[in-house]
Amino acid sequence: MDDSHTLAISAIQHYAYCPRQFALIHLEQAWADNRFTAEGNLLHQRVDAGEPEQRGDVRYERAVMLSSQLLGLRGKMDLLEIDSSQQPARLIPVEYKRGKAKTQDWDRLQLCAQALCLEEMRDVSITEGALWYWETRRREIVAFDASLRAHTEQVIENAKAVLTSTQTPPPTEHKRRCKACSLIEQCQPDIARLDHSAEYLQELFKE
Ligand code: SF4
């Protein structure tokens, strides 16, 4: 697969959180860690380092590489549980997260994208996955229903459109998200919100 036309699965969560954050990272190659990203990196390093293991009927595979030709995705999943107690075996993608469960679908979209890749790669049907939250030590079951699948595919399409346009979108209207964003220095959202020059130029050259 030509990597220039694929999207990192992790980018889906960035886009859903804030399209500008997505563009800063994946278009402008900006990155900065804050406490949240540093703790997340540490958690994933620990998870990825684990060896595959079998416990009863369930096999646990870690840091599983993923890709989708159909959707143009590539990435990695933290954990794949393969439950052979039923036939065909049930595949359950599991993603570890630093914080706690969110009302928005950011984490669910990423997990669903992993499932879509797995379905294509292994020619299986996956009905649900799980998000495991380190802060609350809770496992949230996520059903891959039609609505979540459609939302995931829409976000993938929108994110790719930003890459194709090479235009960094304006700051999110959800100002509270900026407080937790590691890219606030590079983004300067308050200044960007006041800068209407891009809109002015667009208007100027409109036919
Ligand atoms: S600081 Fe706010 S607007 Fe800027 S990238 Fe982060 S979340 Fe988006």
Beta-carbon contacts of 159 under 8 Å, excluding residues fewer than 6 positions away, are: 7, 11, 12, 15, 19, 22, 26
Lowest-confidence region among 34-38, 69-73, 138-142: 34-38
170: CA distance to ligand 1 center in Å?
Answer: 9
Domain parsing of the chain, residue ranges: 3-204
Two tokens, residue 115: 């499932």
Split at pLDDT 50, 70, 90, the class of 201 is low
Ligand 1, residues 20, 26, 185: which to mutate, most atoms within 8 A of Cβ? 20
| The CATH fold of domain 3-204 | Lambda Exonuclease; Chain A (3.90.320)
Cβ count near 22 (within 10 Å)? 24
pLDDT value at residue 146: 98
AA letter at 11: A
* 22: nearest Cα among 155, 173, 175: 155
Phi, psi dihedral angles at 118 (to 5 degrees): -60, -40
pLDDT value at residue 32: 74
pLDDT value at residue 113: 98
- Provide the Cα torsion 68, 69, 73, 74; round to 10°: 70
Omega of the bond prior to 52 within 30 degrees of 0, cis?
no
pLDDT of 11 higher than 90: yes
Two tokens, residue 79: 């954990």
| pLDDT winner (highest mean) among 43-52, 101-110, 186-195 | 101-110
User: Which ligand 1 atom lies nearest to the CA of residue 178?
Assistant: 2
Split at pLDDT 50, 70, 90, the class of 207 is very low
Beta-carbon contacts of 37 under 8 Å, excluding residues fewer than 6 positions away, are: 182
Ligand 1, residues 17, 31, 174, 183: which to mutate, most atoms within 8 A of Cβ? 183
pLDDT of 71 higher than 80: yes
* 126: nearest Cα among 62, 83, 73: 83
Split at pLDDT 50, 70, 90, the class of 36 is confident
Q: Which residues pair with 65 in a beta bridge?
A: 76
